[in-house]
Structure 1
Amino acid sequence: MTAPRWRLVLNGKSAGDDALRAAVAAMRARGITLDVRVTWEGGDAERYVAEAIQEGVDVIIAAGGDGTLSEVATTLAHREEAADALPSLGLVPMGTANDFATAAALPTQPLSAFELIQARPPHLVDLLRLDAHGTPHWAANLASGGFGTQVTIETHEGLKKLLGGLAYFITGISKLGRIEPISARIEGPEFSWEGAFIALGIGNGRQAGGGQALCPDARIDDGLLDLTIVPELSGEVAATFGTMLTEGKHAALDRVAIRAQLPRIEIEAPQPFVLNLDGEPVTSTRFHIECVPRRLRMHLPADCPMLGDS
């Protein structure tokens, strides 16, 4: 029987992690052929994935945060092969916030993450594809705009390393007094909204920006995007943030959010604004976003909350 062949694509920021090194050694001792490739600059993940496919690797594992996951998933999604003809995808969460992994209930320890990949067959999952200026961009997790996006972009890398997900909260608090609404028209099948928003979430996954659950009901295998619009709050700001303090941020979001589930979404704005795709900022006045169903096979827990049969 041929030993399983795995390829670990590791974000260079985590290359010295002792727990990951020990987990790699443990899986090799169990008969897994596990090779490691470390990303250093743009294009590395694409090259490593192409190499792995050419060499007949069974599983490609992204080791890093949401950006690393999307970088590997994007490279697989660009391929002409169908999902069943591509290596399956695994994730070892090693980022600052690990939003996708948290929402999917993936193990946080490297060895447990490897054991999940070994034990669980892959599940077909959707991806999010965004087109702006004729250029396609892919994401495994979530596209966000407005307040949460600015928090993510403006949080200093040194603060992330020191405080982890708490860094996003500190940056967010510092911005509360200067939230600038974004005007836009947002449309989809049997859905239309126009106005000013302070936060926007378009979810294949559920959360971004260090725990902001903008799309709390999103599933990654239903062929739909979960849209959440938080409109300009005007006089409701005090009441909303009072709710946040007494009942929690999810209750505050539920109080003001406009939500829909759509296979595709069109956004048009009078001024350019930024959508953040798992760490990749894309600036435009027009966005076309769609769900690409069953594009990849991914190893997930049996009780993953984001699966339709969970």
Structure 2
Amino acid sequence: MRALLVVNPAATTTSARTRDVLIHALASEMKLEAVTTEYRGHARDLGRQAAESDDIDLVVALGGDGTVNEVVNGLLHAGPDPEHLPGLAVVPGGSTNVFARALDLPNHPVEATGALLDALREGRERTVGLGLTSGTPGTDDESVPPRWFTFNAGLGFDAGVVGRVEQHRERGRKSTHALYMRQVVRQLIGEPHRLRGVITLEQPGEEPVGDLALSIVSNTSPWTFLGNRPIYASPKASFDTGLDIFGLKRLSASALARYGTQLLTSSPERGPRGGHVTARHDLTQFTLHSKVPLPLQMDGDHLGLRTSVTFTGVRRALRVIV
């Protein structure tokens, strides 16, 4: 087996020692090429090169969720083909590592490396579904290129929080859960549409749902983690089904207290509920429209402003070593 190891040296918990241990362990089992990313989008370029290669069987991503997202978009640049494309393995090196943890992988890079080697020896893998976004025909965002996401996406409030965190990271701040929580509060204070939302959910054959102030799209569950606590916005979401969406029509202080508490106490059996909640499960395709440009995030990566985004759930899109 020949493998490509993609290392993001800027990931929160990735170190030179971790990289060296991983390289040594993997090289003992396979023919390995290790490449350290040098710019934003480099992991995507490496994933594409691997997809177009005739002799790479596996791509291993060492980094956070953003690194995994880039590798996946590179691997699937021409569309999903699980039987012929290289498989994906993940060694978590970020601050949250939602994709890896949703696959029940260890959250420590050395332990995850051991689990990866065991999976390779035993031939353990699964084919997971992914989310795909694209520009909506007939809108200003029609020409926006498609992009894959592995665990979640959001238009509006949560994407604004992600954007604020990225600004702090660009100034040299370390990504921590405390930083995220502070930006949640600041985003809420500055949110102009928190009492009456501007987002409309449209899906084929259904009446539109308007006035959403928050929209979170999930490809798996949990939605994210707060430290070691999993947060379930859409508990039924799964890599084996289509996409789920969780929306809120109000972000007032009382609504935030109620639904924020429900999120913090959520479980695989019970997510947020109430009169302001919109929840849909196992959707193949739908569109989110906004009356004003809103931030979009996918897998924790801020992607700028959009007024309309079409989401597609693609089942059995990628082989993952687990």
1:187 is matched with which residue: 202, 211, 214? 202
Q: Is the 8 A contact 1:63 1:92 kept in 2?
A: yes
1:226 is matched with which residue: 244, 264, 276? 244
1:281 aligns with 2:296: no
Give the counterpart letter for 1:139 in structure 2.
F
Q: 1:252 to 1:221 in 2, by over 3 A?
A: closer
User: Tell me, what secondary structure is at the counterpart of 1:170?
Assistant: helix
Match of 1:127 in 2: 130
In structure 2, the gaps of 5 or more residues are: 136-141
Q: Is the 8 A contact 2:8 2:37 kept in 1?
A: yes
Match of 2:139 in 1: none
Determine the C-alpha separation between the residues in 1 that align with 2:95 and 2:109: 15
Q: 1:62 to 1:280 in 2, by over 3 A?
A: farther
Q: 1:178 to 1:227 in 2, by over 3 A?
A: same
Q: 1:243 to 1:76 in 2, by over 3 A?
A: closer
Determine the C-alpha separation between the residues in 1 that align with 2:263 and 2:163: 28
1:9 Cα deviation after fit: 0.9
Match of 1:197 in 2: 212
Give the counterpart letter for 1:259 in structure 2.
A
Give the counterpart letter for 2:32 in structure 1.
L
1:242 Cα deviation after fit: 5.1
Please list the CA deviations of residues 106-149 of structure 1 after superposition, one character each: whole Å capped at 9, or x if unmatched: 21222322233333322111111111223212111211122221
Match of 2:138 in 1: none
Match of 1:217 in 2: 236
Match of 1:145 in 2: 155
1:159 Cα deviation after fit: 8.6
Please list the CA deviations of residues 23-72 of structure 1 after superposition, one character each: whole Å capped at 9, or x if unmatched: 3213323x322221111114422432244342512210111111111111
Give the counterpart letter for 1:230 in structure 2.
L
Match of 2:277 in 1: 257
Please list the CA deviations of residues 232-259 of structure 1 after superposition, one character each: whole Å capped at 9, or x if unmatched: 155xx42651574599353783344211
Query: What is the Cα-based RMSD across aligned positions, in Å?
Result: 2.7
Give the counterpart letter for 1:128 in structure 2.
G
Task: Count how many residue pairs are aligned between Structure 1 and Structure 2.
Answer: 293
Determine the C-alpha separation between the residues in 2 that align with 1:86 and 1:158: 34
Q: How does 1:82-121 map to 2 (within 5 A)?
A: 82-120=81-119, 121=124
Q: 1:192 to 1:246 in 2, by over 3 A?
A: closer
Q: Is the 8 A contact 1:269 1:285 kept in 2?
A: yes
Q: 1:6 to 1:221 in 2, by over 3 A?
A: same
Give the counterpart letter for 1:205 in structure 2.
T
Q: Is the 8 A contact 2:50 2:75 kept in 1?
A: no
1:170 Cα deviation after fit: 2.1
Q: 1:166 to 1:125 in 2, by over 3 A?
A: same
Q: Is the 8 A contact 1:116 1:299 kept in 2?
A: no
Q: How does 1:17-96 map to 2 (within 5 A)?
A: 17-29=16-28, 31-53=29-51, 54=53, 56-79=55-78, 82-96=81-95
Q: Is the 8 A contact 1:130 1:288 kept in 2?
A: yes
Match of 2:293 in 1: 272
User: Identity of aligned pairs, percent?
Assistant: 23
Determine the C-alpha separation between the residues in 1 that align with 2:79 and 2:212: 37
In structure 1, the gaps of 5 or more residues are: 301-310
1:161 Cα deviation after fit: 5.3
1:151 Cα deviation after fit: 1.2
User: Tell me, what secondary structure is at the counterpart of 1:287?
Assistant: strand
Determine the C-alpha separation between the residues in 1 that align with 2:18 and 2:183: 29
1:86 Cα deviation after fit: 0.7
TM-score, structure 2 as length reference = 0.80
Determine the C-alpha separation between the residues in 2 that align with 1:25 and 1:114: 11
Q: Is the 8 A contact 2:161 2:180 kept in 1?
A: yes
More helix by share: 1
1:166 is matched with which residue: 170, 173, 178? 178
Match of 1:296 in 2: 318
1:8 aligns with 2:5: yes
1:90 Cα deviation after fit: 0.9
Q: Is the 8 A contact 1:149 1:209 kept in 2?
A: no
